[in-house]
Amino acid sequence: MDRFLAAWERADVDELLDFFADDAEWHPGPMKPAIGKEALRVAFEEWLTGAVGMRAEVHSSVSDGRLLMHERTDHFSLAGQETATPVAAAFVVEGGLIHAWREYFDMSPFVAPRTP
């Protein structure tokens, strides 16, 4: 998981995709899910274009082998303002690849009016 989060911090979409099965699903909170590697590429590129300087601070994690869950705070700049978003995430990992990734977070930093 450390290598995966480091790829997010580097905004390396090609490296990120290497962690996923071909039919993997990403469910980022209440937003539309991305299913399959091409949809993941589009979603990751869009996300990483808007969220600049991503840094994930993991607070705790637990795994039973197939299921990994963690709580973290994502730090990034959005529209020029620093943002810290608490996130709970669940990953289904089989054969060393992520098959499903679900995240739960508060959308208000993304939709609330921003003041300079």
> Is 67 within a domain?
yes
Which amino acid is present at 111? V
pLDDT in tens, 54-112: 899 999 999 998 999 999 999 988 888 888 999 999 999 999 999 999 999 987 766 65
In a domain, 113, yes or no: no
**Which residues span the domain enclosing 82?**
2-106
Counting the structural domains of the chain, the total is: 1
β-pairing, 20-28 vs 81-94, is unpaired
Q: What is the pTM of this model?
A: 0.87
Q: Sort residue 85 into left (φ over 0), alpha (ψ -120 to 50) or beta.
A: beta
pLDDT tens for residues 19-48? 999 999 999 988 899 999 999 999 999 988
In the chain, the N- to C-terminal Cα span, in Å, equals 35
Query: Where residue 57 sits, what CATH number does that domain have?
Result: 3.10.450.50
Any domain includes 114: no
